[in-house]
Structure 1
Amino acid sequence: MMGATLPGDSTTELKEFAIPEPGHGEVLIRVKASTICGSDIRCIYHEHLGKGPEGYQGVIAGHEPSGKIEKVGPGCRQFKEGDRVVVYHISGCGVCNDCRRGYMISCTNENYRRAYGWQRDGGMAPYMIAEEKDLLLLPDELSYVDGAQVACGFGTVYEGLEKIGICGNDAVLVTGLGPVGLAAAVLSRALGAKLIIGTDAIDERLQIAKDLGLCDHVLKAGPDNVEQIKALTGGYGVERAVDCSAHHAARKTAVQATRKWGKIVLIGEGGTMDLNPSPDMIHDQKTIYGSWVTSTWKMEELIERLVRWGVHPADLVTHRFALDQVSDAYALMASGKCGKVAVCFDEELDNA
């Protein structure tokens, strides 16, 4: 089979791999969809930023896969051949404190913590091996592209929103309207937010948010954003803010545009932050949360909620590519002038 790897020079490379066999506690998955994450672009596609065990190991890329179990290895207890599944993209040791809580993203055992698509083969190939403990059942009501979106982006956003709490009382600001920010708008609405304001510096992203009707107001990122947002909220600012941009100016906007006693969550990775703690935070008694991916149980909860809400994360996928077009897929995602980008197999490509 062919699989996509990332040399680290803003290119992709298709290589031949053998179809693997599942070992103890593992399954062979026929991949149906694998979406591209911004962290792949930031940390791997342009240049390999991670070092040592945390660095990209030249494996098959793709840490947002979804598919159908083709074969079950010995020792599996729950999943069976034919099950539709989402792969939680970090495989932890399973026994440290963080893993026991379901947060394998924070596994403290460096000898066992390996990310699909980073340190072990991921979903940019027709088949992949996954450990049973890393799987989540994908209901029939959700497509495989829905599932791929849950595997990282939507799961990450849901965790962050749960930290700050979103309800019908809240005006919500989303800074950065890339795929993660768009997901934040979708889930904020599903959780009850009646007023959602989005900002971004890229016109194409603002247009996607407008076209999909995800935000009540979209603002071009700039120095006047705080005053604009306060004008839209009776002079007070928003109750909740979600930074998905990783940009220092947008993060400052998120904090300063939040009203007294408000809450802010930082989801976008990288970059820096420039605050004056007393006027920006302390005197208004605001709270900032950091949020990194999510847990397996929280991701499972999100899947249930998506079915209940009738929300389809695949609606944010603006472009679908076949595996032999993977170079175009990564290049488009790197441009930032799109929503989510997916590499699809079989019927998921036909459903574009």
Structure 2
Amino acid sequence: MHAAFLPGNREVDLREVPDPTPGHGQVVVAVRASTICGSDLRAIYREHLGEGPEAYQGVVGGHEPAGRVVAVGPGVDRIGVGDRVVVYHISGCGQCEDCRRGYQISCSAPSRAAYGWQRDGGHADLLLAEERDLLVLPDALTFLDGACVACGFGTAYEALCRLAVSGRDRLLVTGLGPVGLAAGLLAGAMGVSRVVGTDPSPERRELAVELGAVDEALAGTDEELRAALGDGAEAAVDCSGSGRGQLTALRHTRRWGRVALVGEGGQLSVDVSEVLIHRQLTVHGSWVTSTVRMGELLENLARWGLHPETVVTHRFGLDQAAQAYSVADSGVGGKVGIVWED
């Protein structure tokens, strides 16, 4: 089978590798869509950070896959051949407290392995996965929808649930890349009264408005935000992963408001008394999501008639993976997907 590896230095290495065979509790998935995440760009494509959960081990890239099951190993009983599935991209130990709650992302056992980071991921024709890491994709959703849920939309949904957003809230989204777009679209479906987004890129601001992810998209100056939100939004989510974006989210959330930080990276320097304590803010650090929450999201998306693939602006075949990563790294569009024809 064909597979794409990420050696660093903004390179993509296409290779021919053996087809996987499922062992006990494992399945083989014919990948139909595998999208590119900002963390792939930041921590693998550009340079290998090589520490902790971000230690890339030279495996097949891609941690946002969806596809159809083509083979199952012994001991598999929940998932069957022909099932359409989304792969939760962390395979945890299954025994620690975090895993038992469905948050394999936070598993700290030595056996924890992320698809596309420490074990082969979705940038290949076939993917070997653990049955426990799979969620059934509703018929109403496409494979590309499922790939978008596997990380980006799941991450955004988790943050919005922690903020408990509702029609009482205006939401500020800082960073209008794929996760920011997801946050805006989901917030609208969850009843938020108004979504204001910020991003330094005019192209991304224009796209966010065009897709209906935000009601208003701004460059993010204090003057613009005060004009749009007065003393601040009731809730905010930072998807920028930059210190500037994170500080903007904090400073333009009103007193007693709630903020979720999901964008990876960045260094934040803040006057804790002035910005946090005296303004009575609640701040959540939110890392991806759980299998339980992801399953809930898949059901809701089908019920809402919301298709995550709407944020995908570029699609490529696996043999064009190098071009796909170059486009994603340019940071001017929405989500980039690698797709297979059915």
Q: More deviation in 37-46 or 52-61?
A: 52-61
User: Could you say what secondary structure the match of 2:172 adopts?
Assistant: strand
Q: CA deviation at 1:210?
A: 2.1
> In the TM superposition, what is the alpha-carbon distance from 1:226 to its structure 2 partner?
2.9
Query: How many aligned positions are there?
Result: 342
Alignment of 1:143-222 (within 5 A): 143-221=142-220
- Rounded Cα–Cα distance in structure 1 between residues aligned with 2:66 and 2:321: 17
2:236 aligned partner: 241
Partner SS state of residue 12, structure 1 = strand
Deviations 1:149-174 (A, max 9, x none): 11000001111111111111111000
CA contact (8 A) 2:20 2:128 kept: yes
- Measured in 2, the distance between the counterparts of 1:289 and 1:109 equals 24
1:17 alignment partner in structure 2: 17
1:334 corresponds to: 329
Code of the aligned partner of 1:320: R
1:248 deviation in Å?
A: 1.1
Q: SS of 2:7's equivalent?
A: coil
CA contact (8 A) 1:230 1:238 kept: no
The alignment-based identity, stated in percent, is 55
Cα deviation, residue 213, structure 1: 2.3
CA–CA separation in structure 2 for the residues paired with 1:71 and 1:206: 43
Q: Note if 1:88 corresponds to 2:78.
A: no
Tell me the TM-score normalized by structure 1.
Answer: 0.95
Q: Could you tell me which residue of structure 2 aligns to residue 227 of structure 1? A: 223
Q: Which amino acid aligns with 2:276?
A: M
Cα deviation per residue 1:1-47 (whole Å; 9 max; x = unaligned)? 11000010101010110111000000010000000000000000001
Shift of 1:206: 1.0
- Does residue 272 of the first structure (1) align with residue 267 of the second (2)? yes
**SS of the residue 2:338 aligns to:** strand
Alignment of 1:1-352 (within 5 A): 1-51=1-51, 54-110=54-110, 112-221=111-220, 225-233=221-229, 235-347=230-342
1:337 alignment partner AA: V
The Cα RMSD (Å) is 1.0
Tell me, what secondary structure is at the counterpart of 1:94? Answer: coil
User: After the TM superposition, which of the residue ranges 208-217 and 76-85 deviates more from structure 2?
Assistant: 208-217
Query: What TM-score do the two structures reach when normalised by structure 2?
Result: 0.98
Stretches of structure 1 lacking an aligned partner (at least 5 in a row): 348-352
Letter in 2 for 1:243: D
**1:309 maps to amino acid:** W
Q: Secondary structure at the match of 2:179?
A: helix
Q: Please give the per-residue CA displacement for 1:110-150, whole angstroms capped at 9, x wherever unaligned.
A: 1x100001111111011010000000000110000000011
Task: Describe the superposition over 1:208-247 as per-residue Cα deviations: whole angstroms up to 9, x where unpaired.
Answer: 11221221111013xxx233222223x2210001100011
**Cα offset, 1:274, TM superposition:** 1.7
**Partner AA of 1:5 in structure 2:** F
Q: Tell me if structure 1 keeps the 8 A contact 2:43–2:54.
A: no
Name the CA distance, whole Å, in 1 between partners of 2:53 and 2:288.
19
